[in-house]
Chains A and B, each alone.
Chain A
Amino acid sequence: GAGVSQSPRYKVAKRGQDVALRCDPISGHVSLFWYQQALGQGPEFLTYFQNEAQLDKSGLPSDRFFAERPEGSVSTLKIQRTQQEDSAVYLCASGEAEQFFGPGTRLTVL
């Protein structure tokens, strides 16, 4: 497709479960970003990839959060031992000056 796609669109996890969220960026885009958006707030930066290199992970809230982009295209955000405070929409974006966002994955941790 032409845009950024993310899957799943919705994920419900029990507290303590591990989850994996997938992002397919726009083909050819070098830069890929992950953001977390809590209800009623703006997106907050999590991590940034340039091709397969993770250049900035300063926004990851804890060591339970891990992201990878092994071949420089698709990226996966993994959250281990999910907690209720992890409930949010996780947005992926690709692009340089203007970042193009996917529809997000809404994660609910019960």
Chain B
Amino acid sequence: DQQVKQNSPSLSVQEGRISILNCDYTNSMFDYFLWYKKYPAEGPTFLISISSIKDKNEDGRFTVFLNKSAKHLSLHIVPSQPGDSAVYFCAASVGNAGNMLTFGGGTRLMVKP
């Protein structure tokens, strides 16, 4: 039973446009959410996180939105750049210190020049 789901395996976007990656979760105990980016043959790299006490967190071109009632979060990348092409994983945890992460299956983003 997958507690974190990314229903779109892939997404293709034109350079300069907005990329929106979605993630749904089922465990209402999750209260901390993270997005990671992964290039081939490398480990996941932390991008941005959000606590359940917030509904939005922004860091440069990256914004994460959290809708607790819908158990849904999304990552917006504006403007998208070719270097953003990678696999993006959302992850969730109960608590935000020293707690295991539960990951979604990933979405492959391709940004076309």
Contacts and interface: CB of A to CB of B under 8 A. Distances in A.
A96 B103 contact: no
Contacts of A35: 101, 103
Contacts, number: 58
A35 B42 CA distance: 14
Nearest to B43: A101
Interface in A34-87: 35, 40-45, 48, 50, 56, 59
A42 B89 contact: yes
Interface residues of A, number: 26
A41 B38 CA distance: 12
Interface of A: 4, 30-31, 33, 35, 40-45, 48, 50, 56, 59, 91, 93, 96-104
Contact of A98 (B4, B46, B89, B104): B46
Interface of B: 4, 32, 34, 36, 41-46, 49, 89, 91, 96-98, 100-106
Given A42-B103, A42-B104, A98 B34 contact: yes
Nearest to A95: B46
B102 A45 contact: yes
A88 to B, nearest CB: 14
